[in-house]
Chain A
Amino acid sequence: MALAIRRSTSEVFGAAKWFIRRDCRALSTLPEKAVEVPVEKKRDRPVVSRIRANARNPNLALRHVYPEFLPDPNPKWRNSLREKLERTDMLNRRKQIDIPEFYVGSILAVTVADPHAQGKTNRFVGICIERKGAGLRAEFTLRNVVDHQGVEVRYDLYDPTVHSIQVLRLEKRLDDKLLYLRDALPEYSTFPFDMDPEILPDGTPVPVNPVQVKLKPRPWLERWERQELQGVSNIEEHLKEKDRVRRELRKEPWEKYDLMKQYRKTIPIEDQNDIWAEVNHQLKQLQLTRKKVSRKRTFGVPKTQLG
């Protein structure tokens, strides 16, 4: 309040001054412009804040598409040379196969070389329920229901036995991890193996699928009610009074204000800028070549689809 009052008084003073000066000017013979110049100069003094300039880097958006290029934030395991070598290896692998942009919730088809399979390759289709790991350890998990049996396969993103990763439907879900699909009704994780890829037009943002799944009755694999999930609709049906009380007791409302906890989980902007500056050019090149290849593909003869 005090500041507000001070401000208003200062404004009043300023206005009064302006009036007086204006009147005086009208009386004097001096030109008007000469007085106003210094006032303008004061206003637009340039303040160079490095923090703001660094945060404006457009490369930072890459972190959502290529999260595995950021190293593990634990300082005990960090080493600049090892991270650099790891990144060159990742780029080398990306030159061999096309690792597309995908998110948790996208539906993928992965073909891997398998010495025990018929024809020596194995293809699996499923929804990506988890994506984790940094560097060459990056991995993702696909889930599907085959013959009324839930199946999950974990793939390494940079495994040389992977022959192709195809995105059948590019979309996000409401949550970062979809592990609750294990306790959901099977129709939410059932996808046909002969799904056709859905192609999004260029430049459209990745759509978010707002579907809310229904959980099976308890017992569950985890205490889903404590995880603040957006993508589950019927969680309250299965809870007892005891669970609701415990959920309230376990809440940690101060955690989102714990600034250092966030800091220790992330890679700071300045470090990220260095990383993206190093890999951005090569990633762009890879994207361009991929586009050329995909354009060629569209002109090819379309495959006959099974009914």
Chain B
Amino acid sequence: MVTGSLNLLRNSFNKLRIDHIFSRSFQTPRYRPPYWYEPKERVPSEEFITQENKQFIEEVMQDKLQQQASLHSPLVNIDSSKAAEWNPQTRRVGLIARKIGNYPLWTKDGKKVLTTLLQVVDNHVIRYIPPEEFSPMVTKKYVWKEKNKLGCLLVGSETIDPSTVTKEYCGLFNNAGMLPKRHLFRFMVSPESYIPPGTPLQATHFRVGDYIDVRAKTMDRGFQGVIKRWGFKGMPASHGVTKTHRRPGNIGSGGEKARVWPGTKMPGHMGNRWRILRGVKILRINTKHNVIWTLGVAIPGETGAMCYLFDTILPLKKHTTSPAFPTQPFVEDLPLEYYDESVQPFEEQSITFEEN
């Protein structure tokens, strides 16, 4: 009897297996999206809607687009006497732009400079969150923040068909009376540069000759070796070198430091990171198509990539005089093009040099 029960016990213990071990450890703070964030992507599904109903949906869409186009900028209704003055400490809103390519311009002294074209596509202010209410998400990195000093302006760009995104995402745009936008971005602004939601932002928000900071994602180059990623020299092709033409060589010394030191430059994934290019000069602005020409070709990303433009924070290139504040209101009869004084417009006569 006893041996039988013992056997039973043993058998039941035999069946016990340890598959999972739970242990508590320090967990990094979880990603908490900002409270204005709503899921955007919607799974498309076949809905078997009849042809007439599809036409009806299209008609409603067109009506809404017309309604949006006929909206007046709320900036007109604000009296300018009340508005605050610009000072060097204020932070203005920025713009969302698309990189559309490069081409050369010539300066007045006959030098050829390559420029990058940025198109400001259909930018509208969507929402303002005052500094008291603004509580950004927790991130892993410790970021020093000016506490409760800056408000947040949500800016959207490029209107899309509402049926391609979720209902919740569309709801973000309702109080501004807008259709949903493809790109949303938050700009930290000082409270005096508040702009009412629904205001369109133009390329003339910046002036010609200003310097801007451009934030964009770099081109994705995949897993790259050390020569392309860090610019190492490699080793010679001949002179007895075997199998180490493009390799990093030694990555550390012995003794106390007999390990790979943190931050050693090694092969790995290159590109597809957010980078900020600071102090880019604006050479030319087209007011009809909202295109900005900037000096140089170093703006990150491929043709067609999105980038975010801010007033520069470089101390020597900051604004010295007041820019359009809080932004340039929409005016009908602006000149088509603004040129920086260093740039030779193509409409002018050929360059001649004076004899001294």
Contact = CB atoms under 8 A, between A and B. Distances in A.
A85 B112 CA distance: 18
A176 to B, nearest CB: 24
B273 to A, nearest CB: 20
B349 interface: yes
Given A160-B346, A161-B351, A79 B106 contact: no
A95 B350 CA distance: 11
Contact of A113 (B103, B112, B286, B351): B351
Contacts of B347: 92, 95-96
A126 interface: no
A161 B346 contact: no
B101 A162 contact: no
B350 A79 contact: no
Interface in A64-86: 76-79, 81-82, 85-86
Contact of B348 (A96, A135, A161): A96
A137 interface: yes
Contact of B103 (A78, A114, A137): A137
Contacts of B109: 115
A32 interface: no
A120 B350 CA distance: 13
Contact of A79 (B101, B110, B344, B355): B101
B117 A85 contact: yes
B291 interface: yes
Contact of B117 (A82, A93, A159): A82
A27 to B, nearest CB: 57
Most chain B beta-carbon contacts within 10 A, residue among A97, A119, A136, A161: A161
Classify chain A's interface size.
Answer: 20 to 34
B100 interface: yes
B13 interface: no
Contact of A86 (B103, B286, B354): B103
A89 interface: yes
Given A79-B304, A135-B103, A160-B110, A120 B351 contact: no
A163 interface: yes
A160 B303 CA distance: 27
A96 B110 CA distance: 16
A2 B124 CA distance: 69
B286 A85 contact: yes
Contact of B303 (A76, A85, A163): A76
Given A77-B303, A81-B291, A156-B112, A161 B101 contact: no
B349 A82 contact: no
Nearest to B108: A160
B100 A82 contact: yes
Interface in B334-356: 344-355
Contact of B349 (A78, A96, A119): A96
A77 to B, nearest CB: 5
A289 B301 CA distance: 43
Contacts of B104: 136-137, 156
Nearest to B354: A120
A37 B354 CA distance: 82
A136 B119 CA distance: 19
B344 A160 contact: yes
A256 to B, nearest CB: 31
A160 B285 CA distance: 20
A250 B103 CA distance: 37
11 contacts: A79-B303, A82-B117, A90-B346, A119-B355, A120-B353, A137-B104, A159-B112, A160-B346, A160-B351, A161-B110, A161-B351
Top 3 A-B pairs, shortest CB-CB distance: A82-B101, A92-B346, A161-B110
Given A85-B291, A90-B346, 10 more contacts: A76-B302, A82-B103, A85-B289, A96-B348, A113-B352, A120-B354, A136-B104, A156-B104, A161-B106, A161-B350
